[in-house]
Amino acid sequence: MTLVPPAHDRGITTLTLDSPANRNALSARLVGELTEALADCAADDTVRAVVLTHTGNTFCAGADLTAPPEPAAFVGLMRAVVALPRPVVARVNGHVRAGGLGLLGACDVSVAGPESSFALTESRLGLAPAVISLPLLPRLDPRAATRYYLTGERFDAVEAARTGLVTMAAEDVDKALVPVLDGLRRASPQGLKASKELVTATVLKSFDSHAEDLIARSATLFASDEAREGMTAFLERRDPAWVL
């Protein structure tokens, strides 16, 4: 049974992250299936745009610590979202953590509902938001990035919109998406592709210039004693040794 079931409606393909048992965490399997689904959308001329959404109360909890993807595979997934010759719209009404913010940041348009919450929790695990910086730093307000990268604080949809993490916060996500999807259906395929190339050029340069270094940096952090303590403490639901 697929973790990313597709649905089609008038040129819009909806891909749903459907792994609620682990809060749609980025397992190797989920990353592989989503990457493949995006490739199918790129090859299908009937697809005008892609909506990425979720089941359950969590859009994506970050990396699956029990079955994580290779860092290069996750970077490849984020780049596939950015480089897809179709707009990718995120529909979020749930929690987003760590690597999930990288997936969200790679999307072109995003709407977050009142049940949404966000946090870059890597610093609390002995890690850093390394590879997810590739789509995030070109788009986030610099002061907000500094604060939330360092503190791991949780913030809501309104703050996510203020900082540039999402396009808009809305009380009714589906109602807010109506004019967005209508606009995409009215646009020509060539016009959408060319326009997306303009607005994603800086983000793609970030991938091309920094991906290799950040993958290596992420691997070094994950192999460290502090990260082992941080992840063990997280799984055991206790404070890590360094908490004062």
Kindly give the confidence (pLDDT) of every residue in the chain, 244 residues in length, as a single tens digit, with 9 standing for 90 and above: 899 999 999 999 999 999 999 999 999 999 999 999 999 999 999 999 999 999 999 999 999 988 889 999 999 999 999 999 999 999 999 999 999 999 999 999 999 999 999 999 999 999 999 999 999 999 999 999 999 999 999 999 999 999 999 999 999 999 999 999 999 999 999 999 999 999 999 999 999 999 999 999 999 999 999 999 999 999 899 999 999 9
Superfamily for domain range 1-171+189-244: 2-enoyl-CoA Hydratase; Chain A, domain 1 (3.90.226.10)
The pLDDT value given to residue 65: 82
The pLDDT value given to residue 22: 96
233 vs 133: CA distance, rounded Å: 25
Domain boundaries, the chain: 1-171+189-244
Q: Which two tokens stand for residue 117?
A: 């919450």
The pLDDT value given to residue 66: 87
Give me the half-sphere count of Cα atoms (radius 13 Å) on the Cβ side of residue 201. 5
Question: Element (H or E) spanning 213, and its range?
Answer: helix 189-222
